[in-house]
Amino acid sequence: MSDERPALEGPATFRELFSLVEFRVLFTASALSWIGDYVAKAAVTVLVYRQTDSVALSAAAFAASYLPWLVGGPLLSALAERYRYRQVMVACDLVRMALMVLVALPGMPPWAILALIFAATLANPPSQAARSALMPQILAGDRLVVGLSVSASTGQAAQVLGYLLGAAVAAVNPAAALLINAATFGFSAALVRFGLHDRPPAMTEAHRSHLLRETAEGFALVFGRPVLRAIAVLVFSAMLFSIVPEGLAAAWAAERAGDGMDTGTAQAVIMAANPVGYVLGGLVVGRLVAPARRLALMRPLAVIAPAVLVPALLDPPPIVVALLAAACGFAVAGLIPVANGLFVQVLPDGYRARAFGVMASGTQIIQGAAVLATGALAERFAIPSVVGAWSAAGVLLMVLAVLTWPRPATIEAAVEAARVESGATAAKGERCGHSPVRGSTAGDRPGERSRRRHAVT
């Protein structure tokens, strides 16, 4: 029996999601990895600062975790298409576990720590690309949209929890925090290895060419097809302004010190506000709003998200800034998972990992560029004026994105075209001797193979 849900049904429930064995496994493994990552980020900055007394090197240790996305995210993500998703995820977890243990060794010089952190984070793009490509094979229909929302909200919550736990443990023993991260990768690898079906690669050897060419095909697909391009523009635009309060929180809090809270508390409240708002928005919109209504809300939420930050022009106190940032996060949470779900529907099989690499790398680059640009502007103008004006420009950008959004008939045609293309790819794979495992239902257990093909609608 297919787990496809009619479009007019109510939203999928959390019970339905977590009744699926593979989703529980993937969710738990991802949460462990995310928490461990943020614990390590907090610990590494403390470790390097204690050894060098250098703020610049400490910041470099933090930034090293983002560099792989900037220098080769799409290329590394394309690797996930060539191999079995489960194999890619397990290998990446084991590599990161081993490298984190090395970082935790006493007496490791700062340059070696930076090199090991960079090497460990090279495994992030292929691992996350494999997880993203696997999700539509486990979930279908509205379960996919709600599953993406739950995963995104969990990632935001893991950020808050990981930073708090990492800072607390690192204050006593940074090496212990790094070993906690290594342990989370070990548990994640075990869960994935023994809890997920061993599906064949999305790309057969017959389809392989040069890795650079395969990566370029991912870019051509995302930006060459109108519906995929429209979704990419919407997501990238949302990232362009939603990160700004978090990125400028330290300076903003310092400028408003004395407004009812100390500088450290103000910074923490502003930085945590957007993730908290995102978690709430993902849970409320994903669970309580019907699928058809969520699609209808995408465009108004796209405009509302930057609009709620425009009142920063009035130079409000930190607690109000935090409320504005939380409202922005809430609106973005109602937008991004639905956009991601639609993106998956329009994406043919065999391109999911590469397309994820394009989107994830673009998101990282845009967020970094937004913080750098607004930080440079804040050197000459007041931070509230910069954030308010930047957000007002975001409103105009979102209005343009909404006005150029594809018509429903265009979207439906793109979804159908992706289905046909995926079906042709699957048929060709079966003729070549491949029999992919496409999905699982609530009754499936690890090790049981299902030959059902689920339409993502």
Q: Which CATH architecture is the domain 19-196 placed in?
A: Up-down Bundle (1.20)
pLDDT tens string 90-124: 999 999 999 999 988 888 888 888 888 888 888 88
State how far the alpha carbon of 213 is from the alpha carbons of 129, 210, 358, in Å: 18, 5, 14
pLDDT of residue 430: 52
- Parse the chain into domains and list their residue ranges: 19-196, 211-430
**Is 101 in a helix, a strand, or coil?**
helix
Over 60: is that where the pLDDT of 297 sits? Answer: yes
R_g of the chain computed on alpha carbons: 22
pLDDT of residue 257: 62
Residue type at 76 in one-letter notation: L
pLDDT tens string 62-100: 666 667 777 677 777 777 777 888 999 999 999 999 999
Reading the block at residue 306, the tokens are 């930057």
DSSP of 398-419, one letter per residue? Answer: HHHHHHTPPPHHHHHHHHHHHH
Q: Where does the pLDDT of residue 5 fall: very low under 50, low under 70, confident under 90, or very high at 90 and above?
A: very low
pLDDT of residue 202: 67
pLDDT of residue 396: 95
pLDDT of residue 440: 40
Domains 19-196 and 211-430 share a fold: yes
Q: Are 201 and 84 spatial neighbours (Cβ–Cβ below 8 Å)?
A: yes
Q: Are 78 and 354 spatial neighbours (Cβ–Cβ below 8 Å)?
A: yes
pLDDT tens string 187-201: 999 999 999 988 877
Of 263 and 37, the one with more pLDDT? 37
Residue 119's nearest CA partner among 42, 166, 73, 67 is 67
Q: Are 325 and 245 spatial neighbours (Cβ–Cβ below 8 Å)?
A: yes
Reading the block at residue 122, the tokens are 């090279």
pLDDT of residue 24: 92
For the chain, the average pLDDT equals: 79
Lowest mean pLDDT among 3-7, 172-176, 178-182, 354-358: 3-7
Size of the chain in residues: 457
Domain 211-430: give its CATH code.
Answer: 1.20.1250.20
State how far the alpha carbon of 148 is from the alpha carbons of 260, 282, 337, in Å: 38, 9, 6
Of 144 and 230, the one with more pLDDT? 230
pLDDT of residue 431: 52
In degrees rounded to 5, what are phi and psi of residue 77? -65, -30
Per the rule left: phi > 0, alpha: psi between -120 and 50, beta: everything else, 453 is beta
- What percentage of residues in the chain have a pLDDT greater than 70? 83
Q: Are 52 and 110 spatial neighbours (Cβ–Cβ below 8 Å)?
A: yes
pLDDT of residue 97: 94
pLDDT tens string 298-326: 889 999 999 999 999 998 888 899 899 99
Burial of 379 (0-12, 13-18, 19+ CB in 10 A): exposed
Of 170-184, 249-263, 359-373, which has the strongest mean pLDDT? 170-184
CA 92, 94, 98, 104 dihedral sign is: positive
Residue 196's nearest CA partner among 27, 26, 349, 353 is 26
Reading the block at residue 445, the tokens are 């257990």
Reading the block at residue 86, the tokens are 């489960």
Of 219 and 8, the one with more pLDDT? 219
Of 372 and 8, the one with more pLDDT? 372
CA–CA separation, 423 and 349 (whole Å): 8
Of 395 and 39, the one with more pLDDT? 395
Q: Where does the pLDDT of residue 243 fall: very low under 50, low under 70, confident under 90, or very high at 90 and above?
A: confident
Angle CA(137)–CA(301)–CA(246) in degrees, nearest 5?
90
